[in-house]
Amino acid sequence: MSDPRIAVIEKRFQNVRRVVAVSSGKGGVGKSMIATALALSLRDRGHSVGLLDLDFTSPATHVILGVEGLYPEEEYGIVPPIAHGLRYMSITYYSVDEPTPLRGEDVSNAIIELLAITRWGELDYLVIDMPPGIGDATLDTIRLIPRIEFIVVTTPSRVAFQSVRRLLVLLKDMGVPIIGVCENMVMKPLAYVREDVERLGLEYLVSVAYDEEVEEALGDPDALRKTRFYKELGEVSRRL
């Protein structure tokens, strides 16, 4: 018995130049905000960009982008619609606002299914908003998506960074490329995250200050573009 879906996945990514997974060991650090802003920022620089929300339990990028009334087109698989210039794919097309209680094996199956049916076409960048942690989704994306690279998000809190550090060590041990670490929601700049990231031999990409304006910009990418958060994050898209 063999799974025909696995063979298709590599083909789906053959014209995607770079796949950037935005991940974290911990929830609530702003992964979805950073993934969405990064995708928009790359688009602003003239690249063709896709955004894939793989956080099935707590999808959020549709809220940040203000996506409503879009639905993928079926054509030898499915073609994600364009939202604010991004090829945008999310489980919420199918789950709407209902809870999606999936166990590990179901998470794997749903990821395999989405990766196998989604036709990205030609993209310079596909940004993936990952679920937090080092569970099934993280292991499956590493196993299945060719050439995947990670941007890892933390906050200055030691509570968050302890878990983020474990993710970094895991990725390093597995030989997965790590673009670097973003420190988000910084209220009082401290050096310890940067120092520890550099001690691991990794790149500390940016320190993004806590920005109250972001909450008000939810659902409105143009308002988001005007925030300090977005401008500071632009440094990351410039370096990609």
Both tokens assigned to 59: 């999808």
Identify which range of 98-106, 152-160, 177-185, 193-201 contacts other proteins by CB under 8 A: 98-106
**Interface with other proteins, residue 29, by CB under 8 A:** no
Within 10 angstroms of residue 224's Cβ, the number of other Cβ atoms is: 24
Q: Is 124:17 a contact under the CB 8 Å cutoff?
A: yes
Closest to 9 (Cα-Cα) out of 120, 124, 95: 120
**Interface with other proteins, residue 65, by CB under 8 A:** no
**Interface with other proteins, residue 99, by CB under 8 A:** yes
**Interface with other proteins, residue 117, by CB under 8 A:** yes
Q: How far is CA 84 from CA 41, 43, 114, 204, in A?
A: 11, 9, 21, 29
Identify which range of 2-10, 134-142, 160-168, 231-239 contacts other proteins by CB under 8 A: 2-10
In the bound state with other proteins, the residue whose beta carbon lies nearer, of 34 and 52, is: 52
Alpha-carbon gap, residue 84 to 46, rounded angstroms: 13
Closest to 127 (Cα-Cα) out of 33, 239, 218, 36: 36
Instruction: For the CB of residue 4, give the shortest distance to other proteins in the complex, in Å.
Output: 6
Alpha-carbon gap, residue 140 to 147, rounded angstroms: 13
In the list 68, 75, 98, 215, the residue contacting other proteins (rule: CB under 8 A) is: 98
In the list 70, 79, 100, 176, the residue contacting other proteins (rule: CB under 8 A) is: 100
**Interface with other proteins, residue 79, by CB under 8 A:** no
**Interface with other proteins, residue 103, by CB under 8 A:** yes
Identify which range of 41-49, 93-101, 123-131, 202-210 contacts other proteins by CB under 8 A: 93-101
**Interface with other proteins, residue 194, by CB under 8 A:** no
117 by DSSP, 3-state: which? helix
In the bound state with other proteins, the residue whose beta carbon lies nearer, of 119 and 166, is: 119
**Interface with other proteins, residue 144, by CB under 8 A:** no
In the list 18, 45, 95, 194, the residue contacting other proteins (rule: CB under 8 A) is: 95
Q: Which residues pair with 78 in a beta bridge?
A: 74, 118
Alpha-carbon gap, residue 183 to 181, rounded angstroms: 6
Residues 6+ apart with CB under 8 A from 162: 25
**Interface with other proteins, residue 57, by CB under 8 A:** no
**Interface with other proteins, residue 1, by CB under 8 A:** yes
141 by DSSP, 3-state: which? helix
Encoded amino acid at 72, one letter: P
The site that binds other proteins (CB under 8 A) totals a number of residues, namely 23
Where does this chain bind other proteins (CB under 8 A)?
1-5, 78, 91, 93-95, 98-103, 106-107, 109-110, 113-114, 117
